[in-house]
Amino acid sequence: MNEGHGILFANGESWKELRRFALSTLRDFGMGKRIAEQKILEECHHLTQMFEDHKGKPFDTARPLNHATSNIISSIVYGSRFEYNDPRFKEMVRRANQSICIVGSAQIQLYNMFPRLVSWIKNRQLLLQNVEMSIRDVKALVKNLKETLNPSVCRGLVDCFLIRKKKEEDSGVKDTHYNEKNLIFTVTNLFAAGTDTTATTLRWGLLLMAKYPHVQDQVQEELSRVIGSRQAGVDDRKNLPYTDAVIHEIQRLASILPMAIPHKTSRDVTFQGYFIKEGTTVLPLLTSVLYDEIMLNPGSIPTIRDQASEDTSNFEAPYVANLMDLIFDQVFVDPAPL
C-alpha cells in the first residue's frame, strides 16, 4: 500500500531513518512535553465547547473525538489546526477512519493471507482509492507549506522534513531517504497511527465511564479533590493514582490494536521453546498480553500488586492495592456484556 515508503509497513534503512526522524521531530515539537500539552489543552477547549453545544442531548461522539485528535497531530505535523467544519478536513478524517475500518475487515485479512488470489476484492479497491485521495490532499497541504517555507523556522514536522531534504540535496547526497514519497507517506502514516488510536481509546473511556458510574464518580472525586476547577495538566498525573490506574485499565480492556504491525526476525530466535527462522514474518498478538489469564485472576497478579504495595515513594500503598481490587473486580472480572 505504501510501496515501502514512510514508517508503517516500511522496512530496512529507509524505515530506520524515517522512524528516527519522526521520533526526534515529534519530541522536538513537544510530544510528551509542555509544547504538545499546550496544543492538547487548546484542542480540549474546542472539543468541550463542541460537547456543550449539544446542551446535554445525546449525540455521536465519534466524529468530534476524531476531529480533535486529528487536529493535535495536524498542529504538530503541519504547524496549524483545522476548523471542525472545514470540508476538506472533515473528508480527510472520514476517509482515514473508513480506511482503518477496512484494514480490520475480514476481506482485507483474507487478502493479506492470499494476496494473489483475492486482489480484486471491493474493500481493497476502496482502500486504494482512499490512499490515492489522501496523497492528493497531503500533496496540496505540503505545496502550501513549501511556498511559505522559511528555512530558519520549523512550523511543524513537514517543514523540518523539507529543510532536511534541501540540505541533503545541496550537499549532493545521492538516494536520500528525504524524498517526496517518504514525506507524503510519513505524514499519512502519522495521521493513520495517531488519530484513530487516540480517538478510539477516548471513546472506550466514555463508554466505560457510562457503564461503571461508580468508577466515574471516584475519578471525578479525585479530580475535584486534587485539581479543583482548574484545567488538569500532565504534572497532575502523579497526584492522581486512581485516575491514572483507570486510564491504564481502559487501555488494557479496550485492546484497540489486538495485533501489532508485522515484524520480521533479523536472526534465528528461539522463543518459549519455539524456533523461529531468520526472516520470518511475526505478528505479535498484543491482546494475549492484555487479556492474560494470570493478569485477570486477582489472586495471582505478581507484578502490579506487588509493586503497588512495595513502592511507597509515589503512592499510598494500601490505597493503590484497594484500587486495583476495585478496578479488577468492577471493570474486568465483571462478565456483564458491554
Q: How far is Cα 19 from Cα 193, in angstroms, rounded to an integer?
A: 13
Q: Which is nearer to ligand HEM, 158 or 308 (CB)?
A: 158
* Nearest distance in Å: CB 266, ligand HEM: 14
The least CB distance from residue 230 to ligand HEM, in Å, is: 25
Tell me the H-state helices in the chain. 12-28, 34-52, 62-77, 87-103, 106-113, 122-147, 157-170, 180-211, 213-226, 241-254, 286-290, 293-296, 303-310, 317-327
CA distances, 139 to each of 10, 215, 258, 294 (Å): 20, 45, 32, 49
Q: Which residues ranging from 274 to 333 are in contact with ligand HEM (CB under 6 A)?
A: 286
State yes or no: residue 247 binds ligand HEM (CB under 6 A). Answer: no
Site for ligand HEM in 3-62 (CB under 6 A): 7-8, 19, 22
Least Å distance, CB 300 to ligand HEM, is: 26
Kindly state whether residue 257 participates in binding ligand HEM, applying the rule CB under 6 A. Answer: yes
Candidates 50, 163, 256, 304: give the one binding ligand HEM (CB under 6 A): 256
Min separation Cβ 262 and ligand HEM, Å: 8
Sorted by sequence, the CB contacts under 8 Å of residue 290 that are 6+ apart come out as 252, 253, 255
Question: Judged by CB under 6 A, does residue 265 bind ligand HEM?
Answer: no
Tell me how far, at minimum, the Cβ of 201 lies from ligand HEM, in Å. 4
Nearer to ligand HEM, 41 or 260 (CB): 260
Instruction: Please give the Cα distance from 98 to 177 (Å, whole number).
Output: 29
Binders in 168-227 for ligand HEM, by CB under 6 A: 189-190, 193-194, 197-198, 201
Q: How many residues bind ligand HEM (CB under 6 A)?
A: 17
75 near ligand HEM (CB under 6 A):
no
Determine phi and psi for 143, rounding to 5 degrees.
-60, -45
* Alpha helices (H) along 29-121: 34-52, 62-77, 87-103, 106-113
CA gap 219, 213 in Å, rounded: 10
Binding residues for ligand HEM, per CB under 6 A? 7-8, 19, 22, 73, 189-190, 193-194, 197-198, 201, 256-257, 260-261, 286
